[in-house]
Structure 1
Amino acid sequence: MHQPWLNGMELLEDALRNKNFLTSGLEEMDMFLHGGFRVGQLTELVGPSSSGKTQVCLQVASNVARKYNGTVVYLDTGNSFSPQRIAQILGQSSDPANSQVKYQNLQNIMRNILCHSVFDIFGLFDVLHQLQFQLKLQNGKGDCHGRLLIVDSVSSLITPVLGGSGSLGRALMVAVGFLLKKLAHEHNLAVLVTNHTVAGEGGICKPALGESWKSIPHVRLLLYHERGSNICKISILKHPSMASGKAARFVMLPDSEHKGEPGMKRTV
């Protein structure tokens, strides 16, 4: 039942053919990440509350559904998915001036985004196994349009099962992580998950979920607002080809310009 052995040349051909990048729609972020979010990898976006993690997820989902005409599976764990915000983002990026054409384009793009509410880790397992089954059927028909899987947020599902001294919670967490990575690799998906921060030594914030989770994502990005300004900073916590600590700053649009929803605008 295990996957066959692959030699280096087969892995290189797979990487060149399938493991491309999906752009976020945020030009400066894509430049910073050398192309965007890589297909076949699990990317984690870490940040404190109100740091803009969900905003980034909505932006990426909008861009992938529009630019690549691919399916986006958005697993919403906290009722944070905003179709109005998606429509607003798409309205800003649409080119046609005709309102009827713009509305038809919006309908077509929004149908590519499949949102499912998940409220516990067992529900997450159910959805991921259903997705795995559907992707296998699509692959068998040569018709795999799935491109992006978002879990916002994975930590809100895992944290409740980590309490106590038993190892069951950690085992469930690791199983979720490896299932996400398996989906990404075998079905050429880009997987994006969000995680919150907790207080560490000396009051310094660190990613939640501890050391067992730390090794699972291929890429870990830290996002936060600079206090007293509209500037946000994204930095590398872990990346297979970029140095940890590398960072870029962006201007967050004021709430009044986006009806309460922040958005990245430009590098400073």
Structure 2
Amino acid sequence: MSPLEVLERDYPLIDSSFRMFCASHGIFTVQDFLVHDLYELEAFAERDYAQDKLKQGIAQMVSKIESQRRPWLNGLELLEDSQINKGTLSTGCERIDVLLQGGLREGHVTELVGPSSSGKTQICLKAASNVSRKYSGTVMYFDTGNSFSAKRIAQFLSQPSDPADIEVNKTVQRVMSSIVCHSIFDIFTLLDMLHQLMNNLKSQIGCQVRMLIIDSLSSLIAPILGGGGAHGHSLMLTAGFLLKELAHEHNLSVVVTNHMVAGEAGISKPALGESWKSIPHVRLLLSRYNAINGSCISILKHPYLAAGKTTEFMVR
């Protein structure tokens, strides 16, 4: 999240006095400003001796945020955008790739939702290994529950060859060096990392990023949604919009995992609620169908494919 102080050079009204006023209301970053009640903030400003300057600063902040919105696009522009650089990345699971007509689409946010042990993390690890092996660029892996397994990725890469084979070892070293894993345990660190990634991609710092995996996103967001307050909900939507912007602007394939929670009549449903449903472009439901690593995957939502299509698969 960008601290307010970095804006002062381009926006003089966002000076130390304005930032001190914001800090007194728990606002230290642009992100904090986005999720704050602006009517309430303006009401507090009116009680201050420097109310005119503070209200001008608030207006300048709003103007900056509004300027970041994307312009309107007509249908032809949207069609051209969907046809340019929106390829697919193979997951390494043939049946999943067939179901998705090629794999995970670049420029889209794909959500894997399912109960524990349904195969979400295994698909993430398999996709990370396969994308790093087959395509140029980096895979960013945000691990929120200590589920990342370098050993499991090495197993994917060495099958069915002898793990002691020299060429296999070279492949493992090359692939592992192109997977960048970060451990993230709270929503604020995630937002910081997403902003940092956005800035790096805009500045072309580092090599090309092809895929971003967050396993699991729901474990970061679910704890802040309790209590019925709007703050957690706003943080969730902000994270979602950032992921969509990263995917769209930089042609990334973004993959997030989401767990299941108990719903009405004991029927399980995806966590994060109804508001989250509009965020991912693609939602895939996973479930176990036997005890020997067998899973089932179904399309819940897809911009190009019919919902309800299903296939069975095993991650090997």
What is the number of residues matched between the two proteins? 249
Q: How far off its partner does 1:17 sit? A: 2.7
The structure with more radius of gyration? 2
1:149 to 212, 225, 239: 212
Asked whether the equivalents of residues 47 and 222 of structure 1 are also in contact (C-alpha less than 8 Å), the reply is yes
Higher deviation after alignment, 12-21 or 25-34: 12-21
Any residues of structure 2 matched to 1:1-268 within 5 Å, and which? 1=67, 2-92=69-159, 99-138=165-204, 145-226=208-289, 230-250=293-313, 252=314, 263=315
Higher percent of residues as helix: 2
**Alpha-carbon offset, residue 214 of structure 1:** 1.1
What amino acid is the match of 2:112?
L
C-alpha displacement of 1:195: 0.2
Superposition deviation, residue 44 in structure 1:
0.2
Amino acid at match of 1:135: L
Q: Which runs of 5+ in 1 are unaligned?
A: 253-262
Task: Indicate the structure with greater strand content.
Answer: 1
Cα distance, 1:241 vs structure 2: 1.9
Q: Which amino acid aligns with 2:295?
A: C
1:202 CA displacement: 2.2
Whole-Å Cα distance in 2 between the matches of residues 173 and 108 of structure 1? 35
Please give the per-residue CA displacement for 1:192-220, whole angstroms capped at 9, x wherever unaligned. Answer: 00000011122221100101111111110
Aligned 8 A contact 1:69 1:109 in 2: no
CA displacement, residues 71-124 of structure 1 (integer Å, 9 cap, x when unaligned): 100000000000000111111277x99822322222111111000000000010
Change (3 A) 1:173 1:93: farther
Contact 1:58 1:85 in 2 (8 A): yes
Asked if structure 1 preserves the Cα contact closer than 8 Å seen for 2:137 and 2:209, the reply is yes
Note the aligned Cα RMSD (angstroms): 2.0
Which segments of structure 1 move beyond 6 Å, counting only runs of 4 or more? none
Aligned-partner SS, 2:110:
strand
SS at match of 2:227: coil
Cα distance in structure 1, aligned partners of 2:95 and 2:165 = 29
**Does the CA-based 8 Å contact 2:95-2:312 persist in structure 1?**
no
**C-alpha distance in 2 between matches for 1:14 and 1:92:** 38
What's the TM-score, normalizing by structure 1?
Answer: 0.87
